[in-house]
Chain A
């Protein structure tokens, strides 16, 4: 098994390179992705190697980046759109929701919208406003779209390739605060399907669920909890929509307790959906109500105080204590 160590940013870069090598119809489009290599350098060197026709430096208009990708899809191309930051996706919202999500249906299956919308999301990099948001739920709620998020370099490398090959449109959420963290990447075979959740750490007392940036926070929380005698089972969702409900059910049937952790606000969130779904499916296994550890119902705060907004180990352990406290 050929493995190598690289950052998530490099893994995405290598994954995109491999996707482009495999299929000449794959093109990349986004702002500053060519000569600059993207503001996060995810596409570094790709324009030099694949040319300006396949790595397209776009004029600065997000609706057009996605809207022209729809036209390219109709022509048989697979476009990977880079939206520079989460907070800049909204100009493209109309195209994503009204067109990308519905074209397959509207054409009675004739058009396939095999395009990927890459979205650096979540906070934690000390940025100014509009650079740290978690808009995934807007897309998760829209039929016709799929939403995934990678939490490790290995997943980044494989999930981006799987997303490019998939015939449905995929909003690909990248936890930008983890771009520079290193991990092992297996260059031979993908770890699992694109929409499968994974148990990152087995445990018996509480199931804790996260995606993107929060997975690592959960693993740290599990270490601390273990020292205090509580065993956490950490699930990396990977696919936000659709949810891998079976993996969640198996875990909650074992632990009987559920805490969902997310950077987005709590109301009508992915965590809300998981709590409702799991309550419906394994009510009699649950020993406590499902709890959500989330961002607050405020605009993403100035980054000097974002640490108080983003779920951290302390808040996660507090929720763990609360679900554990439901039994005498």
Chain B
């Protein structure tokens, strides 16, 4: 993936790469923190895949290979910023403080959401491709009207980049100079559809046609993703308008646990990308430049294991919700059909009672 325009600060071998516009100034502790985040989210992901295979989740959307893109972007956010995900941004959810068990509620099929979006300033999962980009722009227009110095970050993929909503959100963000950053994870595959079918030009080039900057960053380089996202968010906060970031990465795993990628892509391609692993290169840097000892990595692995085991316990403890809860929060105000449905369910004895 030799690309002169790709922002990269750390090579796949863990060597620092100089770039005319971006530089990583993170301390050893901070870089280690990013490594820890990535290791934990990978472990959470692996545990979730196992839980699905064991029949404990309806579905899981693996994040493996995209840890740097998500942790780099997630850690670039300030607490007051707001982010709008699609459904695979478990790494961003982790950075926003969403408890791992809450990330899995949707996949356990006990809710259509999972967490309090205002508490974490991280919106609910969005499964319909691209819908959330318009919500992000609208929210950003609200930020503008409030005169607040906050930025909005929204996530979507190369597949969703073909959706009308995404392109409309580009138009609106540009027209209103909205404080929003579009974070496109180009993981090369929309289930079985290669990104070459979504676009005949590099996706980040699209931004120029809409009138705002587009940047392609090595999505497997957490240092580069962090710096590029941080600067784009800073620009948005002070009236600099939108930016499109294309994080060039790869979906190592299946689209979801229902998918079989061996039907549409070759192993050799996956192997190439495994050599560009986002964690290994940071580990190499930490060992060589920051002299981090092996024991520190062992400690992170143990911590990640503990989080995964706790997650397993928490998920298994999530029972079938009382069916009567399906009537909660359909409307903010009283509604006769909700009252009627509730009444009928109670009469049928299906529910545990009034909820």
Contact = CB atoms under 8 A, between A and B. Distances in A.
B124 A106 contact: yes
Contact of B168 (A64, A72, A106, A146): A64
B138 A69 contact: yes
B336 A242 contact: yes
A170 B126 CA distance: 22
23 contacts: A61-B168, A61-B172, A64-B134, A64-B137, A68-B135, A68-B172, A70-B138, A71-B137, A91-B164, A98-B131, A104-B329, A105-B112, A105-B113, A105-B330, A107-B113, A108-B111, A108-B328, A111-B117, A111-B124, A144-B330, A144-B331, A242-B336, A243-B336
B333 interface: yes
Nearest to B167: A61
A63 interface: yes
B220 interface: no
Contact of A109 (B128, B169, B332, B336): B332
A70 B331 contact: no
B116 A71 contact: no
A94 interface: yes
A61 B329 CA distance: 29
Interface string B145-165: 110000000000000000011
B143 interface: yes
Given A63-B168, A67-B131, A72 B116 contact: no
A63 B134 contact: yes
A75 B134 contact: no
A143 B164 CA distance: 25
A53 B145 contact: yes
A72 B142 contact: yes
Consensus secondary structure, chain B interface: helix
A58 B330 CA distance: 29
A64 B172 contact: yes
B346 interface: no
A323 to B, nearest CB: 26
Interface in A68-119: 68-77, 79, 91, 94-95, 98-99, 102-114
A308 B112 CA distance: 46
B171 A59 contact: yes
B141 A107 contact: no
Interface of B: 84, 111-113, 116-118, 123-126, 128, 131, 133-146, 164-165, 168-169, 171-172, 175, 328-333, 335-337
Contacts of B329: 104-105, 107-109
A118 B145 CA distance: 23
A2 to B, nearest CB: 29
B143 to A, nearest CB: 7
Which 6 pairs between the two chains have the least Cβ-Cβ distance?
Answer: A71-B138, A67-B134, A75-B142, A68-B138, A167-B332, A71-B139
A65 to B, nearest CB: 9
A99 B164 contact: no
A206 B326 CA distance: 39
A79 B137 CA distance: 14
A99 B333 contact: no
Nearest to B124: A106
A34 to B, nearest CB: 13
Given A67-B168, A91-B164, 20 more contacts: A59-B175, A67-B133, A67-B138, A67-B165, A73-B138, A94-B128, A99-B135, A106-B112, A106-B124, A107-B113, A108-B116, A108-B328, A109-B329, A109-B332, A111-B117, A143-B330, A144-B331, A146-B331, A167-B332, A168-B335
B135 A70 contact: yes
A140 to B, nearest CB: 11
A199 interface: no
A200 interface: no
A137 interface: no
B113 to A, nearest CB: 4
A143 B165 CA distance: 23
Contacts of A79: 138
Contact of B333 (A68, A69, A72, A166): A166
A71 B329 CA distance: 19
A70 B84 CA distance: 12
A105 B124 CA distance: 11
Nearest to B325: A108
A242 B337 contact: yes
Contacts of A72: 138-139, 141-142
A77 B142 contact: yes
A98 B142 contact: no
A286 interface: no
Nearest to B138: A71
B333 A245 contact: no
Contact of B140 (A71, A113, A166): A71
A74 B113 contact: no
B138 A75 contact: yes
Contacts of A98: 128, 131
Nearest to A76: B142
B331 A104 contact: yes
A297 B168 CA distance: 34
